[in-house]
Amino acid sequence: MAFFEQEIHDAPKTFLSKYVFSFDHKVIGKQFLWYGIAFLGLGGMMAMMIRWTLAFPGEAFPIFGHFLFPATNGVVPPDTYAMLFTLHGTIMIFYAITPILIGAFGNFCIPLMIGARDMVFPTLNMLSFWLAVLSAVILVASLFTPLGGAAGGWVSYPTLSTLIGSPGVGQTLWCLAIFVLGVSSTMGAVNYIATIITLRAPGMGYFDMPLTVWGLWLTAVLNALFLPVLGAGVLLLVFDRVFGTTFFLAGAAATSGSGDPVLFQHVFWIFGHPEVYILILPAWGIVSDLLAFFARKPAFGAKATALSMTTITVLSTVVYGHHMYTTQMSPLLTQSFMMLTMTISIPSAIFFANWLGTLWKGSIRFQTPMLFALGVVFVFGLGGLTGLYLATVSTDLYLHDTYFVVGHFHYTMAASVLLGGFAATYFWFPKMFGRMLNETLGKVHFWISMLGLNGVFMGMMIVGYAGMHRRIYNPYVYEFLQKLIPINMFITYSAIFMGFGQLFFVYNFVYSIWKGPKASQNPWEVGTLEWTIPSPAPHYNFDVIPVVKCGPHEMGNPNLKGRDFQYQTEELA
Amino acid sequence: MNLYSLYMKFFVMNAHAAEMSLWDRMKPPLDISTNGHLIDSLFHLTTMLILFFFILVCLGLFGFSYLYRQSKHPVALYVHGTSKKHIAIVAAIGAMVFIMVDMKITGISNRDYMESFAKWPKEDKDVVRVQVLGQQWAWNFRYAGKDGIFNTEDDIVTLNDLRLPTGKKIVFQVTSKDVIHSFSLPNARIKVDAMPGRISKMWTELTTTGLYDIVCAQICGTFHYRMQAKLRVYTPEEFDKWQDQMGERTKYIMEKDSADLYWGWKWVTNN
């Protein structure tokens, strides 16, 4: 269905054109993967410092403490603590998860899975990555400004994020970094949408696309629509900070006409709620596919799953008000937002039922990617259901801004997305690097991550329900929180356990790139288009553009002889 | 010896810590308001409903994983889940979640919100009115004083020290001097944002005397965690006595020097 011929140029020869300024979607995908993993490590270290402070207030951070905070004998100081949780959020969302799931697997998987030779706009693709690098440079540079990096929380509500609360240039640089990253992601999103619409292989209808592509596509739509909104918001914030406008200033600080700090919250959350789905949709798609691949049967109700994801995409744009119940919007609005938020549980329930339907009477192989995919079902079940408390106006009055919220959104955005990202890494690693990851190390990594993250995030929900609020440096100045010290210590031990568990992954990943056993063309025995070509995927992927004749999950068909799967290029048996 | 006390002994390294049970540690702070139980009971109802569905998910997840592992069930069933029966089952699950959980919770929450939390009490004589001003990093409180009018000489002004009676409806008007704060009474289960340029309101009625914590729930800068005020709940007689004492104090010229006293606004009575 391609609208135009996909030309083949010669493979790049020099190091620069091959590995650095590459137009190749596979190389750009790998670049995003390294970028994301590096920031995942940085954001993870920040999380450790946050956790250490909460469990052992006033004690020096081990090993690095004396080097990083010499003025306080290794103890994380309160202003640094505020910077840490701000940048932990920013980095994990925009610089780790987005690049890994959308940047890396979006770039890598979309052309391969729809049978295209590359993205439709390769130059835009390259530009998207290098703008992301520029954004990262700005963000990291903000840490070395005189008053330190941004410290107003990742939501950076004015007026705390204006000159009233954050006079340092670090906050301005943070805004600029987010703006540049927004431009980069929008470029990527436009590219993904156009590629999926124009470059699907002949014969591939929208419902013949793997659900991974569906997830990435819907994500790209949300990205293209809502990142510009965030960009506009932070740009106005920069105006307030640099040019003396008063979009978000009110009260005594608004010397030349009054704006409204709550306006920023509207702008932020109309982006911010879809952002949650921007992060989780690719993971849903990947999980929907992997469950079918490893249960060796077609994805149960694949069309319904795709349509549910689309419904959620639409609904996600009209529920953002549930982040702002405590700003005292009119009861009419709180009721509408509560009702709309609740309706999201219908499509969610439908694809959960479909996931379990996929497992039903399958022939399940518990290889590492499958373990991670099953892990996503578990943690997203918990994360999604606990959202009900927060969507409800009256329980939110108590739970808003407590650790319950932190636990909830880490279950959905951190645990599910991270496990989904690992599932994808273990699954597509052979096609990316032509080698296999070690299964045993992978399984050890899974169980440590799974136990660790449940300890961390379940613990957070517990301390949140007990009343511990967010973003406090030392909870124990409050008498009613002192009983939570042992639970907070448990969360921190779990976090350390989980952190060390990631070393299994890092070792496995780095070792296997060079020394892992060579991967066959189709190690998982599945039929989507990327497995019809050699591993690693060759220059321009497909010699001949494939013609698609059946759906992506045709497995377990009793008419098949000798194998239980068929390629999408084969006539339905 | 159970896991919990082992953990307390070897990881928390405090033998006495195990004397408080895990259950007690997980409990929210004491509810001292007439409306707080609405939130607690809705929380528990939601928990039950969630547990029901999460157990269903786990049964499917672990049950199918066990029953249909490859070694035991080598040939998968070739279904696409597109038959009428399958679609009906899936749709029924969706509808069940919506009717059993969403409608139920939304209904209760709407009722509680409209009939309690957002139903502003008539401001007659029996209502205690307090103005709250958040600032980096403290809470200022202002009572109207004897004349019942705000912004007059006899206002009672305190810093981080809120005193309230039991058995009377209390209405707060909340704003902020600098950045956004959130005025939160964990013991009454409610909070409202304090925003510069806006006056938000909140009401409660307390039942139990004692000393409690007031929290700033919204990040407001480096010493956000220190933005702590105390709530002293008196019986109505004790409260009147305290107000009289404070009223006497406002007559001394000496204390009028403090610039911290001069804030406040005309009470907004449009409710």
CB contact under 8 A, A165 and B20: no
C-alpha distances in Å from residue B160, one per residue of A19, A190, A207, B47, B131: 60, 52, 61, 35, 13
pLDDT at B152: 84
| Residue ranges covered by each domain of chain B | 1-30, 39-117, 128-261
CB contact under 8 A, A338 and B110: yes
Q: Which of B74, B78, B217 sits opposite A297 (nearest CB)?
A: B78
The whole-angstrom separation of Cα A209 and Cα A406 is: 35
* Cβ–Cβ < 8 Å for A512, A477: no
CB contact under 8 A, B197 and A349: no
CB contact under 8 A, A363 and B74: yes
* Main-chain dihedrals φ then ψ at residue A123, nearest 5 degrees: -65, -40
Q: Which of B17, B76, B190 sits opposite A361 (nearest CB)?
A: B76
First to last CA, chain A: 23
CB contact under 8 A, B75 and A556: yes
Is the pTM here over 0.90, yes or no? Answer: yes
Residue of B nearest to A251 (CA): B197
Min Cα separation B252/chain A (Å): 29
* Cβ–Cβ < 8 Å for A168, A148: yes
CB contact under 8 A, A347 and B225: no
CB contact under 8 A, A327 and B79: no
A-B Cβ pairs (cutoff 8 Å, strict): 323
| Residue ranges covered by each domain of chain A | 26-532
For chain A, residues with pLDDT lower than 50 are 1
Fold of B128-261: Immunoglobulin-like (2.60.40)
pLDDT in tens, A361-394: 999 999 999 999 999 999 999 999 999 999 999 9
Q: Which of A365, A398, A480 sits opposite B189 (nearest CB)?
A: A398
- Taking the CA atoms of residue A292, residue A298, residue A299 and residue A302 in that order, the dihedral angle to the nearest 10 degrees is 150
pLDDT at A1: 46
Residue B135 with chain A: CB contacts under 8 Å:
none
Q: Which of B105, B178, B182 sits opposite A388 (nearest CB)?
A: B105
Superfamily of domain A26-532, CATH level 4? Cytochrome c oxidase-like, subunit I domain (1.20.210.10)
Q: What percent of chain A has pLDDT over 90?
A: 82
pLDDT at B45: 95
pLDDT in tens, A392-418: 999 999 999 999 999 999 999 999 999
pLDDT at A4: 66
CB contact under 8 A, A165 and B220: yes
**pLDDT tens by residue, chain B, 271 residues:** 688 887 887 777 776 677 788 888 899 999 999 999 999 999 999 999 999 999 999 999 999 999 999 999 998 999 998 899 999 999 999 999 999 899 999 999 999 999 999 888 887 778 999 999 999 999 999 998 888 888 888 889 999 999 999 999 999 999 999 999 999 999 999 999 999 988 999 999 999 999 999 999 999 999 999 999 999 999 999 999 999 998 888 777 666 677 778 888 888 876 5
Nearest to A212 by CA among A111, A127, A287, A122: A287
